[in-house]
Structure 1
Amino acid sequence: MPPTDRIRDHAGQGATTVAAHRARRRLRADAARQLADLLRRQLLTGGFPDGTLPHESTLAAEYRASRNTVRQALDLLRAEGLVERLPGVGTVVVAEKYPHGLDRLMGLAETLREHGRVTNEVRTMGPVAAPAPVADRLRTAPGSDVLYIERLRRLNGLPLSLDLTYIPLDIGADLLGADLENNDVFRLLEAITGRRLGHAEITLEAVNADANSAAVLEAPRGAAVLMLERLTHLADGRPVDLEFIRFRGDRISMSGLLHRSL
């Protein structure tokens, strides 16, 4: 074989080896992500009652994965702040996410009452001229005043969400003297109007926390937060509460029961 052909053949083998190595790394990363998803579900739903995950070899055997894949999966969970590696102990659960249901219209204190006490720090409250998108969603006259409320909400003292709320002023005026530190707005709205809330339109997406939101939530700057936009209506269909809620993604999980319509 001529020297040039041998060089080309060697280069081709080298390229094939590199490509194969990259493919193996990609497959292992895919498998680690899949395993992390399964383990995350277990540790967030009490699947490890004593707070300690099984040994890596046990996880590898149970999930038919390599030890390297298990280590990568645990590294992913550690990066999320859900587990930590303790010398002489193993991998332990260090964080808890609280469930927030999406199939019922409930305030945060109602939703999390089994997990502790929700308190509200009212950071800003008062009438403001409604921005055009707010006036449109609440069906108020452009430029008319609405009640604006900004609250930092804590569960058992830990920052959980930053809530920005707009309410038509004919209803919101009665909230100015209400105890918003210890009550959900939903309950107060029903008490003020004498009517039940009916339904809400929601949009849920992940956004990066701006510097101010991150500081208020005591979260890393630029961390992903769950943004819930919710427009709540009274039972007669009138929109009464437009909210933009930033949840710490490492402390809340969203769930619901969905039915397929034929």
Structure 2
Amino acid sequence: MDRSGKAAGAPAAEWGSSRPRAERARRVADVLRQQITEDRFGGALPDERTLGRQLGASRNAVREALGLLRQEGLITRRRGVGTTVVMPKYGHGLDRLAGLAETLAGHGTVTNEVRVAEKVAILPDAVAARLEVPAEAGGVRLERLRWLDGLPLSLDTSYLTADVGAAVLAGDLVRRDVFGLIEETTGSRLGRADVAVHAVCADPDTAALLGIAAGAAVFALERLTRLADGRAVDAESIRIRADRMTLRATLHRGLPPATA
């Protein structure tokens, strides 16, 4: 795709009238959504005619695509003002182990509202299994509402092993990432994390905390983080506003598996 948004070498017929109307609008919306996420337009989009010329699409297809993006809450359209992005999305890389404040350095101010910071005598069985410790070993539970430039971004719940968690509790949980506190208090670097991401509908309590409508889509991120020696220390469940964050990764193709 070239910088104008048109697929390089692709004929305008890609968006042609032979396609069903809804499909044409969806395809245009997919391209525009990607460009908005990559901040190609800044805060305001060009007019429908200009977008149609850039994409090789009809004005009707562009208009319907913009309607889809407005329904998603990604843009707003006002007579005399034009089409503007509701709020910027920020990229969070999944190919590097980093805390939120570290990831968003230079993009805004991250603050943390500490809702829970407590020692737990008995870990839930599922959490203990993730941390690879007996449930009776106990641990520390943290729940923090993460804010970016005054707007809620994510709700993070962490269970840490007892020794690591006790030291983290003594740190600055309002201004620091947990990852940095773990490395500082253990004197060991973090090694790796296993991550799973899926989409869920926000329950009423989570939605209220994140400032979104109940049932709105959020990213649900489950992460188990280990020290460099392989020891599991931090089991997290994170709910991230999908309208404010884009999850990114750079993937490299390896050799195909050997066949017998």
Match of 1:225 in 2: 218
State the SS of the aligned residue for 2:20.
helix
Equivalent position amino acid for 2:54 in 1: E
Q: Which runs of 5+ in 1 are unaligned?
A: 1-23
Name the one with the larger helix percent. 1
Contact 1:131 1:143 in 2 (8 A): no
Structure 2: distance between partners of 1:175 and 1:138: 16
The aligned counterpart of 1:67 is: 59
Q: Specify the SS of the correspondent of 2:61.
A: helix
Three-state SS of the structure 2 residue aligned to 1:143 is: helix
**Which string of whole-angstrom CA distances, capped at 9 and with x for unpartnered residues, describes residues 145-165 of structure 1?**
110000000011110000000
Give every structure 1 segment of 4 or more consecutive aligned residues whose post-TM-superposition deviation is greater than 4 Å. none
Kept in 2: contact 1:226–1:249 (CA 8 A): yes
Q: 1:25 to 1:207 in 2, by over 3 A?
A: farther
Cα distance, 1:25–1:181 mapped onto 2, change above 3 Å: farther
- Matched with 2:28 is 35
- 1:198 and 1:104 map into 2 onto residues whose CA distance is 11
Is the Cα–Cα contact under 8 Å of residues 132 and 143 in structure 1 kept in the other structure?
no
- After superposition, residues 167-182 of structure 1 pair within 5 angstroms as 167-182=160-175
* 1:135 to 2:124 alignment: no
Output the aligned Cα RMSD: 1.5
CA contact (8 A) 1:81 1:95 kept: no
Q: TM-score, normalised by structure 2?
A: 0.88
In terms of Rg, which structure is larger?
1
**Corresponding position of 1:21:** none
User: 1:80 matched to which residue of 2?
Assistant: 72
Partner secondary structure for residue 136 of structure 2? coil
Which residue identity is paired with 2:52? A
What is the percentage of aligned positions where both structures have the same residue? 54
Q: CA deviation at 1:94?
A: 2.3
Partner of 1:247: 240
- Which amino acid is 2:57 matched to? A
Shift of 1:133: 1.1
* Counterpart Cα distance in 1 of 2:31 and 2:96: 26
| Structure 1 position 156 matched with structure 2 position 146 | no
Alignment match, 2:140: 147
2:39 match = 46
How many residues align? The count is 238
Residue aligned with 1:123, SS:
strand
For 1:70, give the aligned amino acid. Answer: V
What is the letter of the counterpart of residue 174 of structure 2?
E
Q: Deviations over 1:53-106 (max 9, x none)?
A: 122122223222222211111011111222111211321222110100111000
The aligned residue for residue 113 of structure 1 is 105
- Partners of 2:240 and 2:129 lie apart in 1 by 25
1:45 shift after superposition: 2.0
Counterpart CA distance in 1 for 2:36 and 2:135 is 48
Aligned residue number for residue 197 of structure 1: 190
Shift, 1:26, TM fit = 8.0
